[in-house]
Amino acid sequence: MSGKPIRWIRAFFALLLTAFAVQAVAADHPWRAIDDWAELPEGRVWGATSAVFPGPDNTLWVAERCGQNSCVGKDDIDPVLQYDTDGNLLQSFGAGLITWPHGIYVDPDGNVWITDARGDEGRGHQVIKFDSQGNVLMRLGKAGVAGNGNDEFNQPADVLIAPNGDIFVADGHSPGGNNRIVKFASDGTFIKTWGTTGAEAGEFREPHALAMDSQGRLFVGDRYNNRVQIFDQDGNWIASWTQFGRPSGLFVDKNDILYAADSESHAVWSGNWGWKRGIRIGSVRDAWVTAFIPDPGQPDPYKGGTTAAEGVAVDDDGNIYGAEVGPRRLRKYVLNSWEKPLD
């Protein structure tokens, strides 16, 4: 028998095994989704939410848009909610103070920082710092004013507090907005800004999310450029990564694992064809994507809007939380009992 048919048969089976392996990787991951796990006050429904972050006591903080996609006209509803990991509501606050909660960060002292990314009648375009009981401690930006000055924002998308207390704000929830990172001292004193509109290294088109690793590197979800950009804390560009998809949300856990929520890929208006929506996971040490939690839906690429997680966070037990704008829910992913967290 000629060696050629044998080689063909071997190649066929190798291709078949590869196809099965690819399908298994795409379909299999070690987390199980739980919906409707977090309680709300009686009569209240979830609104759009992109803001979720764990506190230092391993409780979970969420900011949702008052049962709709904005808190305008809902001044009697608290948009900031605190949960234990079983979904029991511990407290809420913020009624009448926030127009469009978008980004969130909880610092080591338990203070809750919220970005208000729209303006309405003297509110919005600000970063607000609350203590853990809901008292306002600081405001950055001018209430209701969209601008590009050192003390102004135009739709600030996210906020992050460095270990030394410095404040970083991703300023610009629009590809044609400010497209910059603004840095402040812990007392709110302006330090510097960097970035402008564009697609080159250090330029942005909608800096949508922030995270920081154990080395102090700042990760920026440069959403309209379909990439994560990495900087030092002085704004010097280090690298750009495209393997984490079109990042709407970023989170780096205590093991330096990066979680990137992609809620917009494979849409006509996103320009990121061929990428599946979902949460990509991998170590910042080697930049490999090692796991993927796919969007459970099948989004129509010709329709707008977001699906699945836009904000993402991870608690100390390795549970993942996806804050979903389009579906208007907070989804929890728990590790299957036979799996261990990535490290």
SS3 sequence of 31-78: EEEECCCCCCCCCCCCCCEEEEEECCCCCEEEEECCCCCCCCCCCCCC
With respect to residue 21, please indicate whether it lies within any of the assigned structural domains.
no
**Residue range of the domain that includes 187:** 32-335
Q: How confident is the model at residue 335 (pLDDT cuts 50, 70, 90)?
A: confident
Q: How many CB atoms lie within 10 A of CB 93?
A: 18
Tokens linked to 297 = 């839906």
With respect to residue 343, please indicate whether it lies within any of the assigned structural domains.
no
**What does residue 12 show for φ and ψ, rounded to 5 degrees?**
-60, -45
pLDDT of residue 338 exceeding 70, the answer is: no
pLDDT of residue 24 exceeding 50, the answer is: no
Model pLDDT, residue 271: 78
With respect to residue 157, please indicate whether it lies within any of the assigned structural domains.
yes
Residues 142 and 150 sit within 8 Å (Cβ to Cβ):
no
Domain total in the chain: 1
What's the whole-number mean pLDDT along residues 111-123?
A: 96
Model pLDDT, residue 26: 41
With respect to residue 340, please indicate whether it lies within any of the assigned structural domains.
no
Looking at the DSSP assignment, which residues form a beta bridge with residue 89? 83
Residues 156 and 141 sit within 8 Å (Cβ to Cβ):
yes
Which of 282, 176, 302 has its CA nearest to residue 228? 282
- For residue 184, the one-letter residue type is F
With respect to residue 143, please indicate whether it lies within any of the assigned structural domains.
yes
Q: How confident is the model at residue 174 (pLDDT cuts 50, 70, 90)?
A: confident
Model pLDDT, residue 304: 66
What's the whole-number mean pLDDT along residues 33-44?
A: 91
Q: How confident is the model at residue 270 (pLDDT cuts 50, 70, 90)?
A: confident
| Per-residue H/E/C for the chain | CCHHHHHHHHHHHHHHHHHHHHHHHHHCCCEEEECCCCCCCCCCCCCCEEEEEECCCCCEEEEECCCCCCCCCCCCCCCEEEECCCCCEEEEECCCCCCCEEEEEECCCCCEEEEEEEEECCEEEEEEEECCCCCEEEEECCCCCECCCCCCECCEEEEEECCCCCEEEEECCCCCCCCEEEEECCCCCEEEEECCECCCCCCECCEEEEEECCCCCEEEEEHHHCEEEEECCCCCEEEEECCCCCCCEEEECCCCEEEEEECCCCCCCCCCCCCCCEEEEEECCCCCEEEEEECCCCCCCCCCCCCCEEEEEECCCCCEEEEECCCCEEEEEEECCCCCCCC
pTM of the full structure: 0.90
With respect to residue 27, please indicate whether it lies within any of the assigned structural domains.
no
Distance from chain centroid for Cα 94: 21
Tokens linked to 281 = 């996971």
Residues 6+ apart with CB under 8 A from 72: 99, 120
- More reliable by pLDDT, 340 or 334: 334
Task: Give dist(CA 70, CA 73) in Å, integer.
Answer: 8
Q: What is the mean pLDDT of the chain?
A: 90
Model pLDDT, residue 176: 87
The CATH number given to whatever domain includes residue 312 is 2.120.10.30
Query: Residue written as tokens 């990760």?
Result: 219
pLDDT digits (tens, 9 = 90+) for 9-18: 454 444 444 3
With respect to residue 20, please indicate whether it lies within any of the assigned structural domains.
no
Task: Give dist(CA 343, CA 325) in Å, integer.
Answer: 29
pLDDT of residue 248 exceeding 80, the answer is: yes
Tokens linked to 152 = 């102004």
Q: How confident is the model at residue 25 (pLDDT cuts 50, 70, 90)?
A: very low
With respect to residue 130, please indicate whether it lies within any of the assigned structural domains.
yes
Residues 303 and 294 sit within 8 Å (Cβ to Cβ):
no
